[in-house]
Amino acid sequence: MDLQLSGKHVLVTGGSRGIGLACARAFLAEGARVSLIGRRRAHLDAAIAELKAQGHEALGYDADLTDANAALGAVTAAWDATGPIDILVNSAGAALRTPFHELTPQDWQAAMQAKFFTYINVTDPLIKRMAERGTGAVVNIVGMGGKVATTTHLAGGAANAALMLASAGLAAAYGPRGVRVNAVNPTVTLTDRMAEGLAADARLRNISTEEALRQAQARMPLGRLAVPEDIANAVVFLASPRAAYISGAVLSMDGAATPMVV
């Protein structure tokens, strides 16, 4: 299926590793032009070199997205260098997974900065530009912790829940101006960040990290954990014109681990 993404300019935050980098690869394979935002220049350079070795070109911008001015600067730089941004994929930022009894008020605040505001600081200026042009798509990658509470991820889950509401609300607000907004809820995915979550779970249950991983795999009805490419495939479809009538959706991607009706 042709997803009609050739020539589209896609901005991926958190694009230097994990799910964000997998999204970048998938969009490039569809013929899109891709700009990446990441916090660390070294990780961006490594990602761009990896993509180049695979025959793709991408530009990267380092910015601390908890800083609204830095986020705006990165958006503007990408827009000026490669042209108007047609699609935004937010994958930056992650709140630390912390057992509930270790949480402090500062941890809750840090979680909102790390996850919620890293998305909002990019989305707010860019969605307004998209609305002015009368076209655009935003896909927010928001963990299942926003939909299903876990005691090792309460602060981060609260930030994810806020992002889900913001996604649905922005879809309603900007739909009349030609902009679609959707979110995907991946569960535990085999990325570098997964190790942090497994460690927190193991600490809470007094088991080894290896045992926590084995149990996580055993719980999945599909018999395996997700890989970044699983998430990227859904993101690319939702961002494409083929999903032109899908907006305000929050797609659960946990392999049916939590049976639910939403």
Coil, helix or strand at residue 15? coil
Helix (DSSP H) and strand (DSSP E) numbers for the chain: 9, 7
The pLDDT confidence band at residue 246, using thresholds 50, 70 and 90, is: very high
The closest of 11, 17, 51, 20 to 184, measured between CA atoms, is: 20
Give residue for tokens 């990227």.
232
User: Is a pLDDT exceeding 70 seen at residue 262?
Assistant: no
How far apart (Å, rounded) are the C-alpha atoms in residues 154 and 102? 11
More reliable by pLDDT, 160 or 197: 160
- The residue extents of the domains of the chain are 9-186+227-253
Give the pLDDT score at 60.
Answer: 98
Query: What secondary structure letter does DSSP report for 89?
Result: E
User: Is a pLDDT exceeding 90 seen at residue 105?
Assistant: yes
Give the pLDDT score at 99.
Answer: 82
Tell me what percent of the residues of the chain surpass a pLDDT of 70: 99
Tell me what percent of the residues of the chain surpass a pLDDT of 90: 73
User: Is a pLDDT exceeding 70 seen at residue 95?
Assistant: yes
The CA-CA-CA angle for residues 129, 87, 256, to 5°, reads 130
Average pLDDT, the chain: 93
Q: What is the pTM of this model?
A: 0.90
How far apart (Å, rounded) are the C-alpha atoms in residues 75 and 253? 28
Give the pLDDT score at 237.
Answer: 98
User: Is a pLDDT exceeding 80 seen at residue 261?
Assistant: no
Instruction: Name the CATH superfamily, with its identifier, for domain 9-186+227-253.
Output: NAD(P)-binding Rossmann-like Domain (3.40.50.720)
User: Is a pLDDT exceeding 90 seen at residue 63?
Assistant: yes
Q: Six-digit token pair at 44?
A: 């961006």
Average pLDDT over residues 42-63: 97
The phi and psi torsions of 139 (rounded to 5 degrees) equal -125, 120
Q: What pLDDT, in 10s, does the model give residues 167-218?
A: 999 999 999 999 999 999 998 787 777 777 777 778 888 999 888 888 888 8
The closest of 246, 247, 162, 227 to 23, measured between CA atoms, is: 227
Q: What pLDDT, in 10s, does the model give residues 212-243?
A: 888 888 888 988 888 899 999 999 999 999 99
Average pLDDT over residues 110-122: 96
